[in-house]
Amino acid sequence: MNTRQKNILAGVVELYTRTAVPVGSRALLDEGQFDVSPATIRSDMAALEAEGYLYQPHTSAGRIPTDLGYRFYVEEIMSDEELSLKDQKKLKHELLTLQAKHARLSRSTAKLLSTLSGNLAVMGMIGKDELHDFGMKELLEKPEFRELDDFCRVVEALDSLDERFDSILAKLRDGETHIFIGEENPVKGIGNCSMVVTPYESEEGRGIIAIIGPKRMEYAKNKSLLEHMRKLLGTSLVVIVVVGL
């Protein structure tokens, strides 16, 4: 993949993330990132499709990143993103408020993460049958879930998420933040989703924090959000999951 093709792949991922609409050559040119002809863009997009990084859902439509395309973007193109000072302060303030109120941290943390990410967030302790989630409505309102079959499949899989803790943890290294994309997902039944995970341990035991949203999620932002939450919780090992379509 040459430099221009990398930039085109990045452009497709980022534009599709914002719009949820398949991306065509004209849309990329309208973004003002490329000083080449539409034919050149189309040729490079066709090459990326042939190599498995993009696919065309309909013959008359633009293109969408594949799991391989997202994986390349996350590993080779995406830069780490600092959580905004506004969100950092909000997280810290809310956690301090919760501690002062002696509120249930799991439920409240899930609600806070869902609000900041616009997706489903989950927090729970492994082995204690304690799992709290917030934002299922936000997740299932995404355009990717318009089809009833997709909707039901994701709801069913996430309903048994607490049973998948061990399979998630088994794929992690201590202290590592990991992004699972599509069929890499250790939670079966949501292969149209992505998941970012980091292991955690507190005095109460091991647990998970999860943000669940579409594959076109803002990976860098969500990763930064989860890692900052991990620091605020002050634990040496945290499991943070991000699932998306």
Domain end, chosen from 77, 99, 115, is at 77
Q: Say if residue 109 is in the same domain as residue 50.
A: no
- Looking at residue 102, its pLDDT comes to 61
Within this chain, do residues 14 and 40 fall inside the same structural domain, yes or no?
Answer: yes
Highest-scoring range by mean pLDDT, 45-59, 89-103, 194-208: 45-59
Element (H, E) at 178: strand 178-181
**pLDDT at residue 240 in the model:** 45
Find the distance separating the first CA and the last CA of the chain, reported in whole Å: 25
130 plus 233 within the same structural domain: yes
The verdict on 51 and 134 lying in the same domain is no
- Band (237; pLDDT cuts 50, 70, 90): very low
Shared domain check, 102 and 212: yes
Task: Report the CATH number that the domain containing residue 138 is assigned in CATH.
Answer: 3.30.450.40
Percent of the chain with pLDDT strictly greater than 90: 28
Query: Are 51 and 125 found together in one domain?
Result: no
DSSP letter for each residue of 182-226: GGG-SSTT-TTBEEEE--EEETTEEEEEEEE-BTTS-HHHHHHHH
pLDDT of res. 219: 94
Contact at 8 Å (CB) between 243 and 166? no
Q: 230, 240 in Cβ contact below 8 A?
A: yes
Amino acid at 239: V
pLDDT at 210: 81
Angle formed at CA 28 by CA 25 and CA 34, multiple of 5 degrees:
105
Predicted confidence (pLDDT) per residue in 183-211, tens digit? 888 877 788 888 888 777 666 667 778 88
Number of structural domains (the chain) is 2
69 and 112 fall within a common domain = no
Q: Is the pLDDT of residue 164 over 90?
A: no
- DSSP designation for 63: B
Residue 21 is predicted with a pLDDT of 93
CA–CA distance, 133 with 38 (Å, rounded to integer): 45
Cβ distance 171 to 163 under 8 Å?
Answer: no
Last residue of a domain, one of 42, 77, 112: 77
Q: Which residue has the higher pLDDT, 177 or 174?
A: 177
* Between residues 89 and 238, the one the model is more confident about: 89
- Average per-residue pLDDT in the chain? 82
Is residue 104 predicted with pLDDT exceeding 70? no
Residues 107-155: pLDDT tens digits?
778 888 888 888 888 887 777 767 778 888 888 888 887 777 777 877 7
The residue ranking higher by pLDDT, 13 or 82, is 13
% of the chain surpassing 70 pLDDT: 88
**Whole-structure pTM value:** 0.86
- Of 77, 105, 124, which residue constitutes the final position of a domain? 77
Same domain, 55 and 104: no
Residue 37 pLDDT > 50, yes or no? yes
Confidence band for 236, pLDDT divided at 50, 70 and 90: very low
DSSP element (H, E) containing 65: strand 64-65
Do 202 and 225 lie in one domain? The reply is: yes
Q: Which is more confidently placed, 38 or 244?
A: 38
Which letter does DSSP use for residue 164 in this model? Answer: G
As a whole number of angstroms, the distance between CA 136 and CA 173 comes to 28
Residues 28 and 121 in one domain: no
- State the CATH number of the domain containing residue 70: 1.10.10.10
Q: The domain containing residue 101 runs over which residues?
A: 85-243
Does residue 90 share a domain with residue 71? no
**3-class SS string, 7-28:** HHHHHHHHHHHHHCCCECHHHH
Length reported for the chain: 245
Checking if the pLDDT of 49 tops 50, the result is: yes
Q: Are residues 50 and 149 in the same domain?
A: no
Looking at residue 238, what is its pLDDT? 40
